[in-house]
Structure 1
Amino acid sequence: MSVSIGQSIPDFTAQATGDQEITMAQFRGRQVVIYFYPKASTPGCTTEGGDFRDRKADFDTANTVILGVSRDGIRAQENFKTKQAFNFDLISDKDESVCRLFDVIKLKKMYGKEHLGIERSTFLIDSEGKLAREWRGVKVKDHAQEVLEAAQALNDGSLDSA
């Protein structure tokens, strides 16, 4: 089962950087961007995280929290966050429970071999905890800006959440 536009996101608990457990319920009243990336400290994931980092003040103004998610362990996430000076939390989803909730585990091909991996995807959740927008098969270039614009529109009421 995965969530679809207009549906409430089921509350989940996940291990995150800063030695904390994050739940969806703790963000009620704020919008949330959850972006899924394949692997910490790889070039595309570093660029994407940096793009979100560099726009964090604008996301804050739009009442929007940013969370990054991958299957990396918490130590790898902590190192990635520290090295890249990310100003938002990263979730370690080793058991893939959050990935499966959002249906981002896909069959991928690398060097001619198939494997299951995270499809780069982003989800915008409204302040009531409902999925407002989703982006799947994301290309990193200009993506964080597009998500920011959607978050701003949702916050000021010009983007309807279903």
Structure 2
Amino acid sequence: MSVEIDHPVPDFSAPATGDKTVTLSKLRGQQAVVYFYPKASTPGCTTEGGDFRDRKPQFDAANTVIIGVSRDGIRAQENFKAKQDFNFDLISDKDETVCQLFDVIKLKKMYGKEHLGIERSTFLIDSDGKLAQEWRGVKVPGHVDEVLDAAKALNNGSLNN
């Protein structure tokens, strides 16, 4: 089962930085950006996380929580968050439960070898827990601004799917 636009996102709970557990249903009443990145502390993931960090006040103003997800262990996530001064939580999804729910594990090629990995993807969930918008196969430059515009539009009731 995978997520679909205009349908409720199945509830999930996962371990996150700060010794927390993120539970989707506990975020109701707020919008949520759930973004998946391949690996903590790599260049593209650092840039993307930094873009979310730098725009967090605007996401807050749009009633939107930011959550990053990768398959890295909790220690790697804690180190990544601390080193980059991220002001939002990162989920450690070592068992790929959340990744499978959002269908972001894809066959990728690196240096001519194929492996399964996270396809950089972002999901915008409305305050009722329904998937409002998704971005798959994300390219980092300009992406966070696009997500922010969608979050603002959704919060203002003007997002068109």
The Cα shift of 1:160 comes to 4.0
Q: Residue 71 of structure 1 contacts residue 95 of structure 1 at CA under 8 Å; is this kept in 2?
A: yes
Partner of 1:70: 70
Corresponding position: 1:156 with 2:156:
yes
SS of match in other structure, 1:4: coil
Deviation digits for residues 55-90 of structure 1 (CA, Å, limit 9, x no counterpart): 000000000000000000000000000000000000
The Cα shift of 1:15 comes to 0.2
Q: Give 2:50's aligned amino acid.
A: G
Q: Give 2:61's aligned amino acid.
A: T
Identity percentage over the alignment? 78
Partner of 2:30: 30
SS of match in other structure, 2:26: helix
Q: Residue 77 of structure 1 contacts residue 92 of structure 1 at CA under 8 Å; is this kept in 2?
A: yes
Alignment length, in residue pairs? 161
The Cα shift of 1:44 comes to 0.2
Partner of 2:3: 3
Corresponding position: 1:128 with 2:124:
no
Partner of 1:110: 110
Partner of 1:89: 89
Q: Give 1:146's aligned amino acid.
A: E
Deviation digits for residues 65-120 of structure 1 (CA, Å, limit 9, x no counterpart): 00000000000000000000000000000000000000000000000000000000
Q: Which runs of 5+ in 1 are unaligned?
A: none
Q: Residue 132 of structure 1 contacts residue 160 of structure 1 at CA under 8 Å; is this kept in 2?
A: no
Q: Give 2:10's aligned amino acid.
A: P
**Runs (4+) off by over 6 Å:** none
Partner of 1:50: 50
Give, in whole Å, the separation in 1 of the partners of 2:30 and 2:2.
Answer: 22
Report the TM-score, using the length of structure 2 for normalisation: 0.99
SS of match in other structure, 1:140: coil
Q: CA RMSD in A?
A: 0.7
Q: Give 2:18's aligned amino acid.
A: G
Q: Which runs of 5+ in 2 are unaligned?
A: none
Q: Give 1:143's aligned amino acid.
A: H
Report the TM-score, using the length of structure 1 for normalisation: 0.98
